[in-house]
Amino acid sequence: MRIARFSVDDEPKYGVVETDDPEGLVGTVNVLDSDPLYRPVQFTGERLQLADVRLLAPVIPRSKVVGVGRNYAAHAQELGNDVPEQPLIFLKPNTSVIGPRDGIVYPEQTSDLHFEGELAIVIGRICRDLPRERANEVIFGYTVANDVTARDLQKTDGQWARAKGYDTFCPLGPWISTELDASDLRVSTELNGEPKQDGRTSQFIFDIPEMLAYITSFTTLLPGDVVLTGTPAGVGPMLPGDEVSVSVEGIGTLTNKVIVRD
Protein backbone atom coordinates (compact mmCIF):
# COMPACT_ATOMS: atom_id res chain seq x y z
CA MET A 1 0.00 0.00 0.00
CA ARG A 2 1.24 3.50 -0.88
CA ILE A 3 0.19 6.06 1.72
CA ALA A 4 0.45 9.68 0.60
CA ARG A 5 -0.06 12.96 2.37
CA PHE A 6 -1.37 15.62 0.01
CA SER A 7 -3.23 18.88 -0.16
CA VAL A 8 -6.15 20.25 -2.14
CA ASP A 9 -6.82 23.95 -1.60
CA ASP A 10 -4.15 23.96 1.14
CA GLU A 11 -5.99 21.36 3.26
CA PRO A 12 -3.71 18.39 4.13
CA LYS A 13 -5.26 14.96 3.66
CA TYR A 14 -4.13 11.34 3.47
CA GLY A 15 -4.83 8.78 0.81
CA VAL A 16 -3.84 5.51 -0.84
CA VAL A 17 -2.14 6.06 -4.19
CA GLU A 18 -2.72 3.99 -7.31
CA THR A 19 -0.16 4.77 -10.01
CA ASP A 20 2.55 3.34 -12.24
CA ASP A 21 4.36 6.70 -12.26
CA PRO A 22 7.29 6.64 -9.80
CA GLU A 23 6.82 10.36 -9.02
CA GLY A 24 3.04 10.21 -8.73
CA LEU A 25 2.28 12.77 -11.40
CA VAL A 26 -0.31 10.50 -13.05
CA GLY A 27 -2.76 8.22 -11.26
CA THR A 28 -5.38 8.39 -8.55
CA VAL A 29 -5.56 8.76 -4.78
CA ASN A 30 -8.27 7.20 -2.63
CA VAL A 31 -8.86 9.61 0.24
CA LEU A 32 -8.63 8.41 3.86
CA ASP A 33 -10.59 9.85 6.76
CA SER A 34 -7.48 10.41 8.96
CA ASP A 35 -3.76 9.81 9.42
CA PRO A 36 -3.26 6.02 9.10
CA LEU A 37 -0.33 6.15 11.52
CA TYR A 38 -2.80 6.65 14.33
CA ARG A 39 -6.03 5.06 13.11
CA PRO A 40 -6.83 2.05 10.94
CA VAL A 41 -7.22 2.76 7.24
CA GLN A 42 -10.73 3.95 6.48
CA PHE A 43 -11.70 5.27 3.04
CA THR A 44 -14.05 8.22 2.64
CA GLY A 45 -15.16 7.16 -0.84
CA GLU A 46 -13.62 10.26 -2.43
CA ARG A 47 -11.26 9.56 -5.31
CA LEU A 48 -9.00 12.24 -6.81
CA GLN A 49 -6.64 12.51 -9.75
CA LEU A 50 -3.00 12.91 -8.70
CA ALA A 51 -2.68 15.67 -11.27
CA ASP A 52 -5.18 17.68 -9.20
CA VAL A 53 -3.39 17.39 -5.84
CA ARG A 54 -0.08 18.47 -4.40
CA LEU A 55 1.96 15.70 -2.81
CA LEU A 56 3.42 16.71 0.57
CA ALA A 57 6.05 15.10 2.75
CA PRO A 58 4.31 11.80 3.57
CA VAL A 59 5.07 12.21 7.28
CA ILE A 60 6.03 15.07 9.56
CA PRO A 61 8.05 13.39 12.34
CA ARG A 62 6.48 13.94 15.74
CA SER A 63 9.85 14.44 17.40
CA LYS A 64 12.91 13.70 15.22
CA VAL A 65 14.68 12.39 12.18
CA VAL A 66 17.48 10.01 13.13
CA GLY A 67 20.30 9.54 10.64
CA VAL A 68 22.77 6.68 10.36
CA GLY A 69 26.02 7.99 8.92
CA ARG A 70 28.61 6.16 6.81
CA ASN A 71 26.49 3.02 6.52
CA TYR A 72 27.96 2.11 3.12
CA ALA A 73 31.67 1.29 3.16
CA ALA A 74 32.27 2.86 -0.26
CA HIS A 75 30.70 6.15 0.86
CA ALA A 76 32.85 6.29 3.99
CA GLN A 77 35.93 5.66 1.87
CA GLU A 78 35.09 8.24 -0.80
CA LEU A 79 35.16 10.96 1.89
CA GLY A 80 38.33 9.60 3.47
CA ASN A 81 36.62 8.26 6.59
CA ASP A 82 37.02 4.99 8.42
CA VAL A 83 34.18 2.48 8.37
CA PRO A 84 32.42 2.84 11.76
CA GLU A 85 32.54 -0.06 14.20
CA GLN A 86 29.04 0.75 15.48
CA PRO A 87 26.22 2.83 13.96
CA LEU A 88 27.15 6.50 13.68
CA ILE A 89 24.05 8.44 14.71
CA PHE A 90 23.02 12.05 14.14
CA LEU A 91 19.74 13.98 14.35
CA LYS A 92 17.95 16.27 11.94
CA PRO A 93 15.16 18.53 13.24
CA ASN A 94 11.64 17.93 11.97
CA THR A 95 11.72 21.48 10.58
CA SER A 96 14.17 20.25 7.95
CA VAL A 97 11.46 18.08 6.34
CA ILE A 98 9.97 19.09 2.97
CA GLY A 99 8.03 17.18 0.34
CA PRO A 100 8.28 16.28 -3.34
CA ARG A 101 8.96 19.20 -5.68
CA ASP A 102 9.59 21.57 -2.75
CA GLY A 103 12.71 23.69 -3.06
CA ILE A 104 15.96 22.85 -1.26
CA VAL A 105 17.24 26.23 -0.11
CA TYR A 106 20.97 26.80 -0.65
CA PRO A 107 22.14 28.63 2.52
CA GLU A 108 24.51 31.56 2.19
CA GLN A 109 26.74 30.02 4.89
CA THR A 110 27.86 27.13 2.67
CA SER A 111 29.63 26.78 -0.65
CA ASP A 112 29.54 22.97 -0.84
CA LEU A 113 26.00 21.61 -0.65
CA HIS A 114 25.67 17.86 -1.31
CA PHE A 115 22.89 15.41 -2.11
CA GLU A 116 22.69 12.06 -0.30
CA GLY A 117 20.00 9.71 -1.57
CA GLU A 118 18.67 7.24 1.00
CA LEU A 119 16.02 4.76 2.03
CA ALA A 120 14.04 6.09 5.01
CA ILE A 121 12.17 4.10 7.64
CA VAL A 122 8.90 5.46 9.06
CA ILE A 123 8.28 4.25 12.61
CA GLY A 124 4.76 3.07 13.41
CA ARG A 125 4.92 2.16 17.10
CA ILE A 126 6.59 3.60 20.16
CA CYS A 127 9.70 1.59 20.92
CA ARG A 128 12.66 1.53 23.30
CA ASP A 129 15.29 -1.20 23.79
CA LEU A 130 13.99 -2.96 20.70
CA PRO A 131 15.29 -6.51 20.11
CA ARG A 132 16.60 -7.13 16.60
CA GLU A 133 14.09 -9.88 15.97
CA ARG A 134 11.15 -7.52 16.61
CA ALA A 135 12.28 -4.69 14.30
CA ASN A 136 9.60 -5.34 11.68
CA GLU A 137 6.88 -4.92 14.32
CA VAL A 138 7.61 -1.21 14.72
CA ILE A 139 8.06 -0.25 11.05
CA PHE A 140 5.04 1.44 9.48
CA GLY A 141 6.69 1.62 6.07
CA TYR A 142 9.44 3.10 3.96
CA THR A 143 9.91 6.26 1.92
CA VAL A 144 12.64 8.01 -0.08
CA ALA A 145 14.91 10.65 1.47
CA ASN A 146 17.60 13.12 0.51
CA ASP A 147 19.92 13.79 3.46
CA VAL A 148 21.05 17.21 2.22
CA THR A 149 24.41 18.13 3.75
CA ALA A 150 26.56 21.26 3.78
CA ARG A 151 29.83 19.36 3.45
CA ASP A 152 32.10 22.28 4.33
CA LEU A 153 30.16 23.01 7.53
CA GLN A 154 30.23 19.32 8.42
CA LYS A 155 34.03 19.47 8.29
CA THR A 156 34.53 22.76 10.12
CA ASP A 157 31.90 22.49 12.87
CA GLY A 158 33.18 19.28 14.43
CA GLN A 159 29.61 18.00 14.68
CA TRP A 160 26.78 17.73 12.17
CA ALA A 161 23.80 19.62 13.60
CA ARG A 162 24.14 22.70 11.41
CA ALA A 163 25.47 20.91 8.32
CA LYS A 164 22.45 18.62 8.16
CA GLY A 165 19.84 20.59 10.05
CA TYR A 166 18.90 23.61 7.94
CA ASP A 167 15.28 24.04 6.95
CA THR A 168 14.60 22.08 3.71
CA PHE A 169 17.54 19.70 4.30
CA CYS A 170 15.35 16.57 4.58
CA PRO A 171 13.17 16.02 1.52
CA LEU A 172 10.88 12.99 1.95
CA GLY A 173 8.46 11.34 -0.46
CA PRO A 174 6.67 10.75 -2.66
CA TRP A 175 4.72 8.41 -0.34
CA ILE A 176 5.15 5.63 2.23
CA SER A 177 5.23 2.03 0.99
CA THR A 178 3.89 -0.18 3.77
CA GLU A 179 4.47 -3.65 2.30
CA LEU A 180 8.10 -3.94 1.30
CA ASP A 181 11.09 -6.19 1.87
CA ALA A 182 13.82 -3.59 2.32
CA SER A 183 16.75 -6.01 2.59
CA ASP A 184 17.98 -5.60 -1.01
CA LEU A 185 16.59 -2.50 -2.74
CA ARG A 186 18.32 -0.35 -5.32
CA VAL A 187 19.00 3.24 -4.16
CA SER A 188 20.00 5.68 -6.92
CA THR A 189 20.35 9.42 -7.45
CA GLU A 190 20.38 11.59 -10.57
CA LEU A 191 21.46 15.22 -10.81
CA ASN A 192 19.90 17.02 -13.77
CA GLY A 193 19.24 13.60 -15.30
CA GLU A 194 22.83 12.38 -14.91
CA PRO A 195 23.34 9.25 -12.76
CA LYS A 196 25.40 9.94 -9.64
CA GLN A 197 24.65 7.26 -7.02
CA ASP A 198 23.78 3.60 -7.41
CA GLY A 199 23.79 1.20 -4.48
CA ARG A 200 21.72 -1.46 -2.77
CA THR A 201 20.46 -1.78 0.78
CA SER A 202 22.10 -5.21 0.93
CA GLN A 203 25.39 -3.24 1.09
CA PHE A 204 24.51 -1.70 4.46
CA ILE A 205 27.25 -2.07 7.07
CA PHE A 206 24.51 -2.24 9.73
CA ASP A 207 21.22 -3.77 8.62
CA ILE A 208 17.82 -2.36 9.57
CA PRO A 209 17.25 -4.51 12.69
CA GLU A 210 20.72 -3.58 13.98
CA MET A 211 20.14 0.13 13.31
CA LEU A 212 16.81 0.17 15.16
CA ALA A 213 18.10 -1.89 18.06
CA TYR A 214 21.06 0.47 18.46
CA ILE A 215 19.02 3.68 18.20
CA THR A 216 16.41 2.49 20.68
CA SER A 217 19.10 1.47 23.15
CA PHE A 218 19.49 5.17 24.01
CA THR A 219 16.37 6.98 22.77
CA THR A 220 12.68 6.26 22.35
CA LEU A 221 11.33 6.25 18.82
CA LEU A 222 7.77 7.56 18.43
CA PRO A 223 5.17 6.90 15.73
CA GLY A 224 6.03 9.09 12.77
CA ASP A 225 9.72 9.38 13.58
CA VAL A 226 11.95 8.79 10.55
CA VAL A 227 15.25 6.89 10.37
CA LEU A 228 17.61 7.64 7.47
CA THR A 229 19.59 4.50 6.69
CA GLY A 230 22.72 5.87 5.00
CA THR A 231 23.76 6.84 1.48
CA PRO A 232 25.70 4.95 -1.21
CA ALA A 233 28.90 6.24 -2.77
CA GLY A 234 28.67 8.98 -5.36
CA VAL A 235 27.58 11.96 -3.28
CA GLY A 236 28.46 15.33 -4.71
CA PRO A 237 27.68 19.02 -4.95
CA MET A 238 24.54 20.67 -6.26
CA LEU A 239 23.94 24.30 -7.14
CA PRO A 240 20.92 26.60 -7.37
CA GLY A 241 18.89 25.60 -10.40
CA ASP A 242 19.93 21.95 -10.20
CA GLU A 243 17.29 19.23 -9.96
CA VAL A 244 18.05 16.15 -7.88
CA SER A 245 16.03 12.92 -8.08
CA VAL A 246 16.42 10.06 -5.61
CA SER A 247 14.84 6.70 -6.43
CA VAL A 248 14.36 3.64 -4.24
CA GLU A 249 13.27 0.39 -5.84
CA GLY A 250 9.75 -0.60 -4.81
CA ILE A 251 8.85 2.90 -3.61
CA GLY A 252 9.31 5.65 -6.19
CA THR A 253 11.23 8.81 -7.03
CA LEU A 254 11.66 11.98 -4.98
CA THR A 255 12.56 15.08 -7.00
CA ASN A 256 13.50 18.52 -5.68
CA LYS A 257 15.09 21.62 -7.13
CA VAL A 258 17.81 23.65 -5.45
CA ILE A 259 16.82 27.29 -4.97
CA VAL A 260 18.05 30.43 -3.28
CA ARG A 261 15.83 32.14 -0.75
CA ASP A 262 14.21 35.34 -1.97
| Chosen domain end from 55, 76, 95 | 55
- In angstroms, the CA 51 to CA 28 distance is 8
In a domain, residue 60? The reply is no
Judgement on whether residues 6 and 79 belong to the same structural domain of the protein? no
Per-residue pLDDT of the chain (262 residues; tens, 9 = 90+): 999 999 998 889 999 999 999 999 999 999 999 999 999 999 999 999 999 999 999 999 989 999 999 999 999 889 888 889 999 999 999 999 999 999 999 999 999 999 999 999 999 999 999 999 999 999 999 999 999 999 999 999 999 999 999 999 999 999 999 999 999 999 999 999 999 999 999 999 999 999 999 999 999 999 999 999 999 999 999 999 999 999 999 999 999 999 998 7
Same domain, 87 and 180: yes
Provide CB contacts within 8 A for 240, sequence distance 6+.
106, 258, 259, 260
Residue 28 in any domain: the answer is yes
Domain count of the chain? 2
Fill in the amino acid letter for 114.
Answer: H
H or E segment at 218? none
Same domain? 16 vs 146 = no
Range of the structural domain that residue 44 is part of: 2-55
Please state the pTM of the whole predicted model: 0.97
Q: Are 44 and 34 in contact (CB under 8 A)?
A: no
Before 174, cis peptide (omega within 30)? yes
84 inside domain: yes
Q: Domain check: are 239 and 126 in the same one? A: yes
The CATH number assigned to the domain holding 197 equals 3.90.850.10
